[in-house]
Structure 1
Amino acid sequence: MSKVDADTQSKWDEQLDYKKLPDWKDCASILNKRCQYLEARDSKQIRSEQCVKTFNKNSSTKPTIVNPHRPQTSLAANQRSCILCRDLNHSITNCKKFLELSVMDRFWKTKKLGLCLNCLVKGHSVSRCPSSYKCKTCEQAHHSLLHRTQPADTNSGIDTPSDTSGQSTSAATHSAMEKEQVPEAQVILATALLLIKDSSEGFQLGRVLLDSGSQVNFINEKFANSLGLRKHRKNVDIVGIGVTETKIKYQTQSTIRSRYSNFEISLEFLVAPSITGYQPEASLNVSSWNLPSNLELADENFNQPSQIDLLLGAEAFFDLLESGQIKLGEGLPSLQQTALGWIVSGRYKSKYNTTKKASCVANTLEVGLDKYFEKFFEFEEIQGLRSIWSEEQNECEKHFIDTIKMLPSGRLMVQLPFKKHPSCLGGSYDIAFRRFLSLERRLSKNASIKSQYSDFLKEYERLGHMSLVPNPNLDEDHYYLLHQYVLRPDSVSTKLRVVFDASCCTSSQISLNGILMVGPTIQDELLIILLRFRLYRYALTADIVKMYRQFLVNPSDRKLQFILWRENEPTPIQTYQLNTLSSVFG
């Protein structure tokens, strides 16, 4: 509401109930009423201005009602000059240059000249057009000269204006109609509907574009968010036609499945703000194509414009292809059998030129004022936590409940939630040894940081959070954590903190993090927490000192939390084990 005008804000403030938090329904209701009032007021004002311009104060004759959809032969029509060719003897509706254009060219020329799409007059938009006349063909709010004939209506041409005596249209108009009906080659891109796994291990329907010319797979950012897929940082430059570059910041992974067969594959997708426009751009009339009724089409509505959610590149394209192929006929596309069903793709000749655009593998993002408003309203939507947990999350929760113990001292002890047995871990000592020597060389260059690092681990040992292992048994399952420091000079309490890396792969290319289950998120979303601070006058915050280190790890799992450490270089490198949950990253 801070984005609207002062009068609307005042109306909003007047109806507020300060005993409860307002919701979006209340806001939308106020905005709708306000918009209806403003549109009605502006419409009356425009009609008043039009009447003032129409009436001639010096003339005693009555004003003539003008139909903007018919060329006028009266004096009032002749006084309106053509905005296209600047001729004073006719309006744009009778302009030969305008009538010779195709319907789409007329539409874009009208937009370029800033004319109303309904009455072809400059100075207002179609939503504020004072004219009560509509298109004579479809009764929609656009001029008859801008009506796009549907492909199914092959016997009727474009409705062009006729004069007041009912005479036929000019020869130039007939020429324009014949020119527009010249067959033109179009290309249908292969689309399909498939099932894709979301974050709750369920499958949702998505529309995919198949492209053998792409080296990577893409997923629409909005679609990825609706699936709840976890995104990872991935800086990639995508090069398209004309060496245009698009920056991709995130990558995700999911599994796709066919609706008709057992085909299933796990793929990585680059998260793109947009993949391409609607496919196809306009509706296609396929009634004369004689599509076999017994085939399972991959996309039943391939001829209707719809959004593309995913793009599958060459990685999966050729795995989808099967042996069947059907040619529909001369000047028509082909049917190709795939694991997702029969796809429709190829070149066909259209009698009606319905598009001026061509689609290719190129990612472009046009940011305008409407896009910013769209992003604003998307930001205002608050999505709650998913009520359905995945199988792994449920298993992790059950493991926690079954294994957590309270010791006589009052502290809690937990076990690590394994999804694979630790025996699959390979050797980790060698890489931990090399990384520790590298860390030691860096610490030797800064005495202050080395002193803080040593003090941190001394405190770790003094508090019993780690202990020395004199003779570690490397023949049994074990894992060495790497460690390094993180500096926070502006911190009031701890300026240097040691963090431990459990994502480093062993000789078997498996890490400790890779065999641990990931539990569900149990706290509220950050946005919800922040909103609570708006409900009360006072708010309290608190911090639990060394929170994770208050939980002990079961002694049987501590051998998977070995680290290497020595305070001074002449002394031997020793093995320590972490006894508590550690600050693990990775």
Structure 2
Amino acid sequence: MEKSEEERRALIARRGAKKAALTRIKNKMDSTYVNDIEMLKLMIERAQEAFDGYEQLTLDVGDQEDPEPIETTYFECVAAMRNRIVELSGPGPTSSDARSVAPATPHVSSKLKLPNIEMQTFSESRALALENSEGRGDTASGAASKVAVAKAASSSFVTTKPSQDCLYCGKQHKLYACPKFSLASISERLEFVKETKLCKTCLNTHPGKCKFHFRCKECKENHNSLLHVNEEKPSVSLANVNNEPLVLLPTVKVKVISKSGKEIIVKAMLDCASQNSFVTAKLAKELGHPLSPGTTITGVTLNDKCIKHSLQLDIFSCVYPFKTNVKLLVVDKFTKEMLPQTKIDISKIKIPENITLADDSFHIPSKIDILLAANIFFQCLLSQPEELRDPDAAPSLVHTQFGYIVGGDVPSSILKRPAVTLFCQECQTDIRDTMSNFWHTEKVPEIYAEHTSEQQQCEKLFTETVKLEDNQFTVSLPLKIPIYDVNNTLGDSFGLALKRFYNLEKRFQKDQMLYDGYKDSYMNILI
């Protein structure tokens, strides 16, 4: 079920709060030397909860936000806090010390000092952890399943090792890390991915839509960078001399009427080789007539193109009392450039003075808004006067319901165009593109700063709501969302809270000192 716009905005706002929480924790680690192990453990737990919530909200929103900056912030922050815990514990920890500095995830030994995390290694391990969690056949459904997968990905990035062989060379690594696959040509890679039915984003097999949002670092499209096809610009060699004749296509000026009754004179082209008539989308919008469903057409290269809309329109002649109703297919444009391609010297063409041209500006390049097909072309033909039946005339004059049209070969001697010779040996990349790619590569991760800190919000809430009643001070709770919307926002959180309570009980059963410390520190506050 698709979410409404209000629900999406609410999810995005909650996701922003999770990102802000991670940023605050990281800023605290960067600016303050925390020497309390319990405080560090609490900060790790809060960071993990914020990151889990961010991943879940990203899946719920379903947009294309890049999670890499937040992931980098989270893992750098957690690694720094765990290293700080190891430093504060001192050399040779006892068994109780080892329990006190144990990380929040079961995959990392508390006796090991975590290394600095490289982004590439982390990304590979994260992708592998997510694949392994899917391969175990987890049957949980809904949001709980997504959270479990996200936790598996974030908690096993240190110790998980590849468990599957490369499909390309058979060795113990993933396909995107295979040196043989990287050395293969781009055509061989594409063919291999197609034959093995792999996902073009993560280079793995999985049901349904890919859960990763990787983008090609070259073109930013939704495919793996190893499958990017370089569109090389070949050397260009173009020679154009002025002794080649021009084929003049017949054009006419016609009158059309808009929905509001306004008369519009536009230029149309008669095409005796087309089975369909066309109109530009710009003119169709200006006319304002209702549109009908289109059809599929086939071009000269046997390529099919689906036309979404069509338009039923009356075409009027500007010369004779002639009208015809035409079904026009709506396209953006049907000629690459204006017609004719170059200006023609009309003084060198023999045009009788007693005829009326269908297009008195046929010799001037201009845009074409309508193309009339063969059925209209032959419908509008009239008898040809005897004096104009000259087979050697170039161009030819043909009598139609729209007036006399001019078309055919035009000798190069009457074309107003200079001789052009262009030779380009090599096309190089623009320096602006190179500099843009350089700055994009050197871009640093963004820090998501809050507009108003939580401390300022709490102080404002305290000053506005604090009051003294019966010798007792009361103040409203500092909630980030309205109290009436808390249950709707949290959803069914009882199961998750109960699971955490059971996990806490197990820890207390294994460690009596931890239970006593918890009881002394927190239970007295609640009493």
Please report the TM-score for the alignment, with normalisation by the length of structure 1: 0.29
Higher relative contact order (CA 8 A, sep 6+): 2
More helix, by proportion: 2
Radius of gyration: which is bigger? Answer: 2
Please report the TM-score for the alignment, with normalisation by the length of structure 2: 0.32
